[in-house]
Amino acid sequence: MPVNFNNTELSDILELKKVSQSYDGGKNYIIKDLDFLVEDVPDRGQFIVILGPSGCGKSTVLRYLAGLQKPTEGEVFIKGKKRSEKDRIGMVFQQYSSFPWMSVLDNVGLGLKFQGISKQERDDKAMEMLKIVGLQGHEKKYAQYPTLSGGQLQRVAIARSLLVNNEIILMDEPFGALDTNTRLRMQDFIIGVWEKVQPTIVLVTHDISEAVYLADDIYIMSNAPAKFIEHVDVNLPFKRDRTIKRDPVFVEIVRYIEDKMMSMEV
Ligand SMILES: Nc1ncnc2c1ncn2[C@@H]1O[C@H](COP(=O)(O)OP(=O)(O)O)[C@@H](O)[C@H]1O
Ligand SMILES: [Mg+2]
């Protein structure tokens, strides 16, 4: 049963309306008539997680929202209006996306540079953001491995995205390249950032436990042509910490999703 996105009285922050994607002039579709709706939750933000098998179209959906790709059919809306060039939304990728020949400070302020904001203002705002992501003292270092660790480099990318837009942040398997230990720490780190800044986060992952740990709402995507086949309302309290992973409710949700994914055709 595909997911119904019921519109409530809350204002819409992100929406895909009947989007389709074909790469061969309409012979085959990887995404067909897909709807997706995220409503704004004022003074709190939301943590939405999209979960699905490899190649089902998760990154494509994020690229539509980020404005990095246009669907072959259908419409993208940001805050209730058709997406335009003026809608700037940051995205954090799995691969380290900073420029290694530039300082941490310059990398974080980069989005503002493209908007023509002065160096002084960029630096001031970037410093504020570096405090939020716990990288003060590292601002003059080159944003490269191993000068910075993998986790620190992802914090640089998160800071840059938040400076571009602190209301919406898109994350495409942001912890996928990190070792397990760092990945677990980064999960707690992003919960902390979310509590401080309260943005709407849409995060893509294929890690079920990560999805349940982070999300308010999980949308499970099927294989091509992609559909949302399941909405899971993660009814666990905030603030979360690692101990919740042993909570019977957490364990049950993980098991439920695992069964759903195993029942999907591949
Ligand atoms: N430029 C392209 N040309 C043809 N097929 C593509 C192109 N980009 C992506 N695809 C296909 O679209 C599907 C969805 O890709 P993607 O959104 O990256 O999936 P996911 O992020 O879920 O792994 C994949 O099957 C991929 O092979
Ligand atoms: Mg992907």
Specify the ligand 1 atom closest to the Cα of 172: 21
Tell me: the pLDDT tens digits for 234-251?
A: 989 877 899 999 999 999
Alpha helices in 117-247 (DSSP H): 119-132, 150-164, 180-197, 208-214
pLDDT: which is higher, 133 or 44:
133
Nearest to 108 by CA among 93, 87, 122: 122
Query: In this structure, which residue's CA is closest to atom 1 in ligand 1?
Result: 23
Query: In this structure, which residue's CA is closest to atom 4 in ligand 1?
Result: 23
Nearest to 203 by CA among 73, 98, 52, 85: 52
* 173 Cα: distance to centroid of ligand 1 (angstroms): 15
Q: What percent of the chain is predicted at pLDDT more than 70?
A: 100
State if residue 227 touches ligand 1 by the CB under 6 angstroms criterion.
no
What value does the mean pLDDT take over residues 78-97? 94
State if residue 55 touches ligand 1 by the CB under 6 angstroms criterion.
yes
pLDDT: which is higher, 93 or 223:
93
State if residue 27 touches ligand 1 by the CB under 6 angstroms criterion.
no
What is the per-residue pLDDT for 239?
Answer: 78
What is the per-residue pLDDT for 124?
Answer: 97
What is the per-residue pLDDT for 205?
Answer: 95
Q: Is the pLDDT confidence value at 113 over 70? A: yes
Tell me: the pLDDT tens digits for 151-208?
A: 999 999 999 999 999 999 999 999 999 999 999 999 999 999 999 999 999 999 999 9
Q: Is the pLDDT confidence value at 7 over 70? A: yes
State if residue 59 touches ligand 1 by the CB under 6 angstroms criterion.
yes
State both tokens at 79: 């805050």
Q: Is the pLDDT confidence value at 115 over 90? A: no
Tell me what the pLDDT averaged over the chain comes to: 94
State if residue 58 touches ligand 1 by the CB under 6 angstroms criterion.
yes
State both tokens at 217: 């709402």
Q: What percent of the chain is predicted at pLDDT more than 90?
A: 84
What is the per-residue pLDDT for 43?
Answer: 82
Tell me: the pLDDT tens digits for 29-85?
A: 999 999 999 999 888 889 999 999 889 999 999 999 999 999 999 999 999 999 999
What is the per-residue pLDDT for 264?
Answer: 82
Q: Which ligand is nearest to the CA of 51?
A: 1
What is the per-residue pLDDT for 266?
Answer: 64
Neighbours of 262 (CB within 10 A): 8
Please say whether the beta carbons of 13 and 79 come within 8 A.
yes
Angle at 147 between CA 143 and CA 148, to 5 degrees: 65
What value does the mean pLDDT take over residues 81-97? 94
